[in-house]
Amino acid sequence: MVQIAPSILAADFANLGKEIQKITKAGADQVHIDVMDGLFVPNLTFGAVVVKDIRPYTMLPFDVHLMVKKPSVLIKDFVEAGADAITVHLEADEDIPMLISLIKKYGKRVGLSIRPHTKVSDLIPYLPDIDLVLMMSVEPGFGGQQFQPIALQKIAQLKEFIGRKKVQISVDGGINDQTAPACILAGADVLVAGSYVFKSKNYQKAIERLKEGVQK
C-alpha cells in the first residue's frame, strides 16, 4: 500500500509538536520536512534546531527535503537533529555523487529530487546508489500549489528506469483525493501531502482517503 508523508510546511507552526503527534495517531507513515534557504527557492523555512525539537514527538521516519543551493553544509546538522532520510535536489549547485556519499557516510537513506521540468533521464546515473526519488509535481518553494499533470508521465517513465532496483518514488505537490489515485497508478510509492492533510478537519480521514485512492 502507498505510504503517506504529511508535509509539515502546511502544519500549525505554533503547535508543531502536537501536529506531529496528531498525524502519527492518524496513520501517517513518514514526516516530510521541507527545508528552504531563500536562494534555491524564494522562501525560508526550518533549521536543524526545529527538527531536533520535534523529534521526540514521534517515532515516524523524518525525510528532510533540502531545497537549498549548498546541501553539503547542512547535512550533518540535520542528521544529528534526527533525520532518517536526506533528500537533495539534482539541480543543487554541488556535485551529486559527493552529496550521495556524504549522506551514506552518516548511514541515512538517500533521496534525489527533481523539479517538474527536469528530465527524468538525468536521474539514471544515480539510481543504483540512492533509496528514493522525490518527484516534484509543483515548483518547489511554496505549499498549496496546483498539481502539474506532467508529473504522471514522469512517474511512469521513472518506474521503467528503476526496474528491479529498490528505489521508492515519492511525489510532492498538489496531492489530494483527486490526484492521488493517478499518482499511485503511475507508480508512486509515497505521497507527500501538506495542505490536504493539515487543512482538513479530520487528519485520519484525510490520510485514509489518500491510502484508499485506487481501491475506490
Cell of 80: 544529528
Scanning the chain, the segments in alpha helix (DSSP H) are: 16-25, 48-54, 75-81, 96-105, 150-162, 180-186, 195-198, 203-212
Looking at 34, 37, 63, 131, which residue is catalytic?
34
Residue 172 annotated as catalytic? yes
Looking at 29, 63, 131, 172, which residue is catalytic?
172
Helix/strand/coil (H/E/C) assignment for every residue in 66-79: EECCCHHHCHHHHH
Amino acid letter, residue 74: L
Sign of torsion, CA 187 97 83 65? negative
Residue 34 annotated as catalytic? yes
Q: How far apart are CA 55 and CA 82, in angstroms?
A: 6
Beta bridge partners of 33: 64
Please state, as a whole number, how many other Cβ atoms lie within 10 Å of the Cβ of residue 193: 28
Q: For residue 202, give Cα distances in angstroms to 17, 172, 197, 207, 208.
A: 17, 21, 8, 9, 10
Provide the annotated active-site residues: 34, 172
